[in-house]
Chain A
Amino acid sequence: MLYREAGQFKSTYAEDMQIFPIRQDRVAVAVLLAVAFVVVPLVATQYWFSALLIPFLIFSLATLGLNILTGYAGQISLGTAAFMGIGAFMAYNAELRLPWMPFLGSFAIGGLCAALVGIAFGLPSLRIKGFYLAVATLACQFLVLWTINRVPWITNHSASGVIAAQKMEMFGYAFDTPASKYLLTLTIVALMALAAKNLVRSETGRAFMAVRDMDVAAEVIGIPMMKTKLLAFAISSFYCGVAGALYAFCYLGTVEPEAFVLDISFRVLFMVIIGGVGSILGSFLGAGFITLLPIFLNLGSDFIAKTFDIEISHAVVSNLESITFGGLIIFFLIVEPNGLARLWQIAKEKLRLWPFPH
């Protein structure tokens, strides 16, 4: 009843092509943004910002990046963490060596460096596909991490390899409180998500999906294989690079190689699968789900420990986390391969009919 489209006609192609063609959606999104930008900073606690919201946003961005490459363009990649790492370290170096550069510019430089490496490691995709490509991206993951560890210039000759991230300041205002970091991250992620949405519904997005669905046919109708695949790698790596820079500067506070190991690559891949392959909304849903899950497991195990007066060690919870992640992946692949985004779509379809059965 609330979600009817009746009476909402489109009289121009421009209207038909909007991101949110249904008025109720537009209202909902406006409310959501208002809550995110205005209400949350007022009511949320420090813990909420640091442990939940900021990592959720950062991983949403990384998931967006991987989704563009794997979900839309069909090129599977296990090197996400490496690209995040490049973004973080190059942003650090830009801040260090280009003092005149505003920190947002440093983040962009981090992203661009990641994009360049992404193009280099995307070249194999012109000849290989599927899990062969996945193994090739593993080469990227390990090689990049090794390089970061071994080339002293990258870590500014730090002895321990763990460097403190610089302060972020703009026009004299320092982003050092959790709330300010949250708003900064939120703005960056929201803008980049908008850009991603625009990209995937335009010709570039269609070219990506054509390559994913049937690349031989795509080539026959004139879509340039090399340009399309490399562009996918470049854009995806840029997003992951910026996410990595945010990860180091707004969340960890340090820039270290250990934060960008293979496990992170898998985690982001899981967010893509659970959230929904080839869906912008899905990237957020998947990231949210995977970020919240460990928190729930912790709360759950604390509750059980208190109720039954038993000891549950941290290792147990960590292993339960692994099992749950793996199990959820399998569950989603069997039951709903298009992830939470599809479940959301189905819910909306039902909502259109509500309260009528059909």
Chain B
Amino acid sequence: MTFFIEVVAGGLLAGVMYSLVALGFVLIYKASGVFNFAQGAMVFLAALTFVSLLEMNWNFWVALAVTLVVMVAVGVLTERIVLRPLVNQPPITLFMATIGLTFVLEGLSQLVWGSQPHGLELGIADVPMEWLSQKWNINISKFDLFAAAVAGVLVGTLAVFFQKTRIGRALRAVADDHQAALAVGISLQHIWAIVWAVAGFVALVAGMMWGVRNGVQYALTFTALKALPVLILGGFESVPGAIIGGLIIGASEKLAEVYLGPYVGGGIESWFAYVIALLFLLVRPQGLFGEKIIDRV
């Protein structure tokens, strides 16, 4: 029984990590309707930049600040160079542009920082929490809990940001109706730059978390790809959806690997999340929290 709890807990916490990546997607989609396939590459870029600066012996906080600046710059440049020229194109064109962007960012990251894997230490050890393991014989990593806490803080901050601040309100307005937002004087370009910057920040946090867990290496981009099933489950426009979707995907993936895996030779994790997403799409295409898509002639 404790093993089961461990597996579920481990899965849930892995799911939190997926959620962090998915969060970036949701932000951009909510504000600009663009499905940013390059979010995974942004996570990779952020993690790689941060860890490389650390390895060059920069101060932790300075490195963090500089990486943040880099991510914001990437976001603003993307908006200006890639998205603005494509403003009236169908969504599928924008999607393919972000696929192109993925390749550019991945190539650029490795060109500048090299392609060897890096380990990342954030001061929280990846060891089981003694209190839990001694009292109830359950092994849950301290780091996982830390990541969950970070995610919680992040989501909470974002929620407050969206609901209470003026810019947050403007963001929600833009997400709802571009034309109406323009009509009340909200500068779309401004808002989009801010959104991409925030998404860049979220990517940085996600990158740091993943970097500790799996090391900062190219394979990170594949993990980031798993955020797509999370989005399908949670709905593309919902922050709570990203969290819950991530939790579900994380938990079910782990459970499937541990309990079904041995019967079919293992390695289920490579496709399980996607198949779940596929089944979900057939039953409820808009996800748990998304808005229903209506086709009109």
Residues of chain A whose beta carbon lies under 8 Å from any beta carbon of chain B = 76, 124, 127-128, 130-132, 134-136, 138-139, 142-143, 145-146, 149-150, 214, 216-217, 220, 266, 269-270, 273, 315-316, 319-323, 325-330, 333-334, 337
Contact = CB atoms under 8 A, between A and B. Distances in A.
A127 B284 CA distance: 10
Contact of A322 (B89, B104, B297): B104
23 contacts: A124-B281, A124-B282, A130-B92, A131-B95, A138-B228, A138-B274, A143-B274, A146-B270, A216-B297, A315-B110, A316-B111, A320-B107, A321-B107, A322-B107, A325-B103, A326-B103, A326-B105, A329-B96, A329-B103, A333-B86, A333-B89, A333-B97, A334-B82
Given A322-B106, A323-B107, 14 more contacts: A135-B228, A135-B232, A138-B225, A214-B297, A217-B297, A269-B96, A319-B110, A319-B111, A320-B111, A326-B104, A329-B96, A330-B81, A333-B89, A337-B93
B91 interface: yes
A58 B115 CA distance: 30
A352 B288 CA distance: 56
B129 to A, nearest CB: 33
B285 A128 contact: yes
B99 interface: yes
Given A139-B274, A142-B274, A330 B229 contact: no
B262 interface: no
B102 interface: yes
B217 to A, nearest CB: 13
A329 to B, nearest CB: 3
A124 B275 CA distance: 11
Q: Which 10 A-B pairs have the closest CB atoms?
A: A329-B100, A322-B107, A326-B103, A139-B274, A326-B104, A142-B271, A323-B107, A319-B111, A319-B107, A326-B100
B82 A330 contact: yes
Given A136-B277, A146-B271, A337-B89, A323 B95 contact: no
A12 B282 CA distance: 48
A143 B281 contact: no
A126 to B, nearest CB: 9
A76 B108 CA distance: 27
B188 interface: no
Contacts of A316: 111
A124 B284 CA distance: 12
Contacts of A269: 96, 99
Contacts of B277: 135-136, 139
Contact of B100 (A145, A321, A327): A327
A297 B87 CA distance: 32
Contacts of B228: 135, 138
B271 A131 contact: no
A181 to B, nearest CB: 30
A142 B43 CA distance: 22
B183 interface: no
Chain A interface, DSSP helix/strand/loop, else mixed: helix
A142 B228 CA distance: 14
Contacts of A132: 232, 281, 285
A136 B273 CA distance: 11
Contacts of A134: 95
A139 B95 contact: no
B264 interface: yes
Nearest to A273: B96
A323 B274 contact: no
A327 B95 contact: no
Contacts of B82: 330, 334
B297 A333 contact: no
B35 interface: yes
Nearest to A135: B228
Contacts of B232: 132, 135
Contacts of A127: 281-282, 285
B214 to A, nearest CB: 18
B275 A139 contact: yes
Contacts of B267: 146, 149-150
A279 to B, nearest CB: 16
B112 to A, nearest CB: 9
A177 to B, nearest CB: 36
Interface string B258-297: 0000001101101100110110011001000000000111
A131 B91 contact: yes
A329 B96 CA distance: 8
Contacts of B297: 214, 216-217, 220
A214 to B, nearest CB: 7
Contact of A131 (B92, B108, B111, B265): B92
